[in-house]
């Protein structure tokens, strides 16, 4: 382990020398600009951002593949990630100028030819032995800017590579992996800055969002998301987050959790970055009084300064690992005759939230799963109507506390997998799961680098016929318009298109297409392993391509108990699949 770490440091030093002595030529530096990234949703010839646009709507106007012909979709090519490291492939590919960039398990990044699938180069991060990813060795995608392709690694670092050669340009530490930090989210690029969060919510870390210069990796601002911690801007203090001890007792804010592990979205219209924050630490809520801000929240952050402009907490005083980290997607709609700039989030806690994205004002919370045992809806101020019997009891001395049945389970009504919003139908398509858990509290004390839960659990089904459910949600009414039930838990992202289509993958190995208006299944293809990646689409040489990563893994096989049994026959994998219509 020591040897590997030393070699990795030597690699950093060499690339620093190259940078100092061989400045990039103008030609090398060409590539997607900030404006190209902002315009990504409309430019159909490329996929430049995680979410098909900085707002993360995952909507493409392309309609060559549509509800009338999708049944004829066939594979165009596939590409294997190879190696023995076939684990959960939760990545969303990027496509630019004839190249596909895709990240793989164990912090790997690949460049494939976008017409043939042939590999151009690959980069494998040298990971130290002591990394502590909670929920499989996944990576969710890269970011592209100029001549660079940038991704986060499991040892809580961020690496920029030359996108033509795969050579390291810079490599920076986000946080200390030995304290439990890691990184798996796709970076967000805004105004020449790489914006990242951190992972490690099960280890008593402090969640943070930070911005770096895309050309050098130098830190611009750092914003901890737990009240009491100090933010910085260009090396100087830039105000405390919240107010010391306003929602935390004693020193608990120093180990308060709130991991920002899913990355963020950016809304150019309001110039706000939106990040979700994860569970407070420890899980055992009796050990930390108060609302524990800003855990289990959505934060709006000024990208120019790193200052929090507004917050909305979806699970105050979370006691179930509801971990409200889910993506917040800006959208516009007319409500009560008034055109509004809104945003939506389908939370692990089972509720779909609509907020005014200009100020964080609560508009509505609608249940999108079968059952929520912890709260009976939300009041007009956006506070949950708690069901006290739904909270697991306090531990007594060294004895565990009383067990309660809770639904959703801690794996959530929806976990990491991103939903999509169709500009055509006005609906959100939510990859959700119906399941519960027995949960109890236990005594726990913080120890650096050790799990900090103070809780135990057993996941249980709540329906005979399904766990997964892809649901179409009308954000104006909070009504479910249609649902597709899947036997195994859904764990992949969603794409919707101008062809009246919705695409998502299943653990059983299928990429499926549905009618966006009715939910009717129109096409499926068996990829050979479970699909937990996020599909994309782009146009190339006059044809529309649909693509997705295949490779079963993620949190379900590790933590899902009986649910993991449901998928134990699924083979592991690591392949990129591209589809198109046959040529006439």
User: Annotated active-site positions, please?
Assistant: 321
Name the segment binding Ca ion (CB under 5 A); options: 196-204, 445-453, 501-509, 543-551: 196-204
Query: In the bound complex, what is the minimum distance in angstroms from residue 565's beta carbon to Ca ion?
Result: 23
- Interaction of residue 136 with Ca ion, rule CB under 5 A: no
Question: Cα–Cα distance between 554 and 267 in angstroms, integer?
Answer: 29
Q: In angstroms, rounded to a whole number, what is the distance separating the alpha carbons of residues 107 and 128?
A: 12
Which residues ranging from 143 to 162 are in contact with Ca ion (CB under 5 A)?
A: none
Q: Report the residue number, 46 or 347, with the smaller CB distance to Ca ion.
A: 46
Beta strands in 357-508, from DSSP E residues, in sequence order: 362-367, 375-378, 384-386, 404-406, 420-421, 428-433, 435-441, 455-461, 468-474, 479-486, 494-497, 501-505
Q: How far is the CB of 519 from Ca ion (least distance, A)?
A: 27
- Closest CA relative to residue 570, chosen from 521, 473, 505: 505
What residue number has its CB nearest to Ca ion?
43
Of residues 207 and 574, the one with the C-beta less far from Ca ion:
207
Among residues 36 and 176, whose Cβ is nearest to Ca ion?
A: 36
**Neighbour-count burial for 369-379, b at 16+ CB within 10 Å, e otherwise:** bbbbbbbeebe
Closer to Ca ion by Cβ: residue 155 or 323: 323
Neighbouring C-beta atoms of residue 30, cutoff 10 Å: 12
CA atoms of 464 and 140, how far apart (whole Å):
31
Q: Which of 201, 217, 268, 461 binds Ca ion (CB under 5 A)?
A: 201
Tokens of 28: 């090398």
Q: How many residues bind Ca ion (CB under 5 A)?
A: 7
Instruction: Output the smallest distance, CB 354 to Ca ion, in A.
Output: 24
Dig out the tokens for 559 from the structure: 């933590």
Segment contacting Ca ion by CB under 5 A, of 72-80, 194-202, 310-318, 428-436:
194-202
| Number of helical (H) and strand (E) elements in the chain, helices listed first | 4, 40
40 binds Ca ion (CB under 5 A): yes
Question: Which CB atom, from 291 or from 323, has the smaller least distance to Ca ion?
Answer: 323
- Least distance in angstroms from the C-beta of 232 to Ca ion: 26
Phi and psi angles of residue 43, each rounded to the nearest 5 degrees, phi first: -85, 105
d(CA 181, CA 175): 6
Tell me which of 15, 37, 46, 114 binds Ca ion, using CB under 5 A. Answer: 46
Site mask for Ca ion (CB under 5 A), range 558-577, x = bound: --------------------
Q: How far is the CB of 276 from Ca ion (least distance, A)?
A: 11
- CB-wise, 125 or 547, nearer to Ca ion? 547
Whole-angstrom CA distances from 262 to 145, 167, 293, 452 are: 20, 26, 18, 20
Among positions 258-287, residues that touch Ca ion (CB under 5 A) are 279
Contact 187, 151 (CB under 8 A): yes
Q: Are 581 and 543 in contact (CB under 8 A)?
A: yes
Smallest gap from Cβ 379 to Ca ion, in A, equals 26
Q: CB of 48: closest distance to Ca ion in angstroms? A: 5
Nearest distance from residue 7's CB to Ca ion, in Å?
A: 33
Q: Is 561 in contact with 410 (CB distance < 8 Å)? A: no
Which residue, 241 or 279, is less far from Ca ion as judged by CB? 279
Q: Are 62 and 53 in contact (CB under 8 A)?
A: no
Give 43 or 165: the residue with its C-beta nearer to Ca ion: 43
Least separation, in Å, of the C-beta of 134 and Ca ion? 7
Q: What part of residues 317-376 is at the interface with Ca ion (CB under 5 A)?
A: 321, 323
Considering beta carbons, is residue 378 or 452 the nearer one to Ca ion?
A: 452
Residue 223's φ and ψ, nearest 5 degrees, are: -130, 100
If you search the block for the tokens 């030393």, which residue do you land on? 6
- Cα(78)–Cα(112) distance, integer angstroms: 10
Maximum Cα–Cα distance across the chain: 73
Q: In this structure, are residues 392 and 401 in contact, taking their beta carbons and an 8 Å threshold?
A: yes
Q: Which stretch binds Ca ion (CB under 5 A): 20-28, 200-208, 228-236, 543-551?
A: 200-208
Cα torsion through 315, 318, 321, 326, rounded to 10? 20
Integer Cα distance of 254 and 260 in angstroms: 16
Cis peptide bond upstream of 246, omega within 30: no
**Residue of 8, 43, 80, 164 interacting with Ca ion (CB under 5 A):** 43
Sheet of strand 264-267, all strands in order from the earlier edge strand to the far edge: 264-267, 272-276, 297-301, 308-313
**Among the candidate windows 41-49, 306-314, 456-464, 483-491, which touches Ca ion by CB under 5 A?**
41-49
Where do contacts with Ca ion occur on this chain (CB under 5 A)?
40, 43, 46, 201, 279, 321, 323
């Amino acid at each position: 382990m020591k040897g590997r770490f030393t070699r990795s440091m030597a690699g950093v030093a060499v690339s620093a020398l190259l940078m100092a002595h061989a400045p990039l030529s103008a030609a090398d530096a060409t590539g997607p600009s900030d404006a190209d990234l902002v315009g990504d949703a409309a430019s159909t010839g490329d996929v430049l951002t995680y979410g098909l646009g900085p707002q993360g709507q995952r909507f493409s106007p392309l309609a060559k593949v549509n509800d009338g012909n999708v049944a004829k979709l066939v594979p165009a090519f596939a590409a294997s990630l190879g190696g023995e490291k076939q684990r959960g492939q939760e990545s969303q590919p990027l496509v630019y100028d004839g190249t596909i960039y895709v990240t793989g398990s164990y912090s790997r990044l690949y460049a494939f030819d976008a017409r043939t699938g042939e590999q151009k180069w690959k980069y494998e991060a040298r990971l130290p032995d002591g990394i502590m990813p909670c929920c499989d060795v996944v990576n969710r995608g890269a970011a592209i800017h100029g001549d660079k392709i940038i991704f986060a690694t499991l040892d809580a670092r961020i690496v920029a590579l030359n996108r033509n050669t795969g050579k390291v340009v810079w490599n920076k530490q986000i946080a200390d992996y030995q304290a439990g930090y890691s990184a798996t989210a796709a970076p967000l690029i805004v105004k020449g800055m790489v914006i990242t969060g951190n992972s490690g919510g099960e280890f008593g870390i402090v969640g943070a969002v930070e911005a770096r210069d895309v050309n050098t990796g130098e830190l611009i601002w750092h914003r901890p998301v737990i009240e009491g911690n100090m933010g910085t801007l260009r090396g100087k203090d830039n105000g405390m987050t919240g107010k010391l001890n306003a929602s935390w007792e004693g020193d608990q804010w120093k180990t308060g959790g709130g991991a920002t592990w899913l990355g963020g979205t950016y809304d150019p219209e309001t110039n706000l970055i939106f990040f979700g924050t994860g569970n407070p630490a420890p899980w055992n809520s009796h050990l930390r009084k108060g609302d524990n801000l800003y855990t289990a929240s959505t934060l709006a952050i000024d990208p120019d300064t790193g200052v929090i402009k507004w917050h909305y907490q979806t699970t105050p005083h979370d006691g179930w690992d509801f971990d409200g980290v889910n993506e917040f997607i800006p959208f516009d709609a007319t409500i009560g005759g008034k055109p509004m700039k809104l945003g939506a989030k389908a939370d692990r806690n089972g509720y779909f939230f609509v907020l005014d994205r200009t100020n964080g004002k609560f508009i509505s919370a609608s249940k999108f799963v079968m059952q929520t045992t912890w709260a009976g809806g939300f009041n007009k101020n956006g506070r949950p109507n708690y069901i006290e019997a739904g909270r697991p009891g306090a531990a007594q001395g060294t004895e565990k506390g009383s067990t309660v049945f809770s639904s959703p389970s801690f794996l959530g009504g929806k976990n990491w997998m991103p939903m999509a919003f169709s500009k055509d139908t006005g609906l959100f398509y939510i990859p959700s799961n119906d399941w519960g858990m027995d949960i109890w509290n236990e005594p726990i004390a913080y120890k650096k680098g050790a799990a900090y839960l103070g809780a135990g659990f057993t996941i249980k089904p709540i329906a005979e016929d399904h766990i997964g459910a892809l649901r179409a949600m009308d954000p104006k009414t909070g009504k479910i318009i249609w649902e597709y039930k899947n036997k195994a838990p859904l764990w992949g992202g969603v794409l919707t298109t101008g062809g009246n289509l919705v695409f998502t993958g299943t653990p059983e190995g299928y990429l499926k297409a549905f009618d966006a208006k009715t939910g009717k299944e129109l096409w499926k293809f068996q990829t050979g392993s479970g699909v937990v990646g996020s599909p994309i689409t782009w146009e190339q040489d006059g044809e529309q391509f649909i693509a997705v990563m295949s490779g079963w893994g993620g949190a379900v096989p590790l933590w899902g108990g009986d649910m993991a049994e449901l998928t134990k026959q699924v083979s592991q994998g690591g392949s990129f699949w591209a589809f198109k219509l046959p040529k006439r």
